[in-house]
Amino acid sequence: QQKVQQSPESLSVPEGGMASLNCTSSDRNFQYFWWYRQHSGEGPKALMSIFSDGDKKEGRFTAHLNKASLHVSLHIRDSQPSDSALYFCAASEANSGTYQRFGTGTKLQVVP
């Protein structure tokens, strides 16, 4: 069973629009969350992390974490065609020696 679920599977937004991606964990031990982005033909690259409840903003990207509901989201404002990619949420426990578990991914297409 996948411990990290993402929705939607795919998303299409107009250029300049807002894209919202969701991630839910089924394991309350997960305390740390990362968002990764993967362009076609490349490996995933880390976008941003969020470890505390609330919002974290980095440029056009805002992550939101609610540990009580085990929900994390990523919002991309002023979406650009270069944001078209596969986005992964990853979660890990607080204990050392553990590893990040990835979600199923959301494919984002930004239409010019």
Least distance from other proteins to the Cβ atom of residue 18, Å: 24
Residue closer to other proteins by CB (options 14, 59) is 59
Judged by the rule CB under 8 A, the positions of this chain that interact with other proteins are: 2, 4, 6, 31-32, 34, 36, 41-46, 49, 51, 88, 90, 92-105
Q: Cα(23)–Cα(75) distance, rounded to whole angstroms?
A: 12
Check if the beta carbon of residue 76 is closer than 8 Å to that of residue 61.
yes
Q: How far is the CB of 63 from other proteins (least distance, A)?
A: 14
Paired tokens of 94 = 């607080």
Q: Which of 18/46 has CB closer to other proteins?
A: 46
Closest CA to 28 of 74, 73, 63, 68: 68
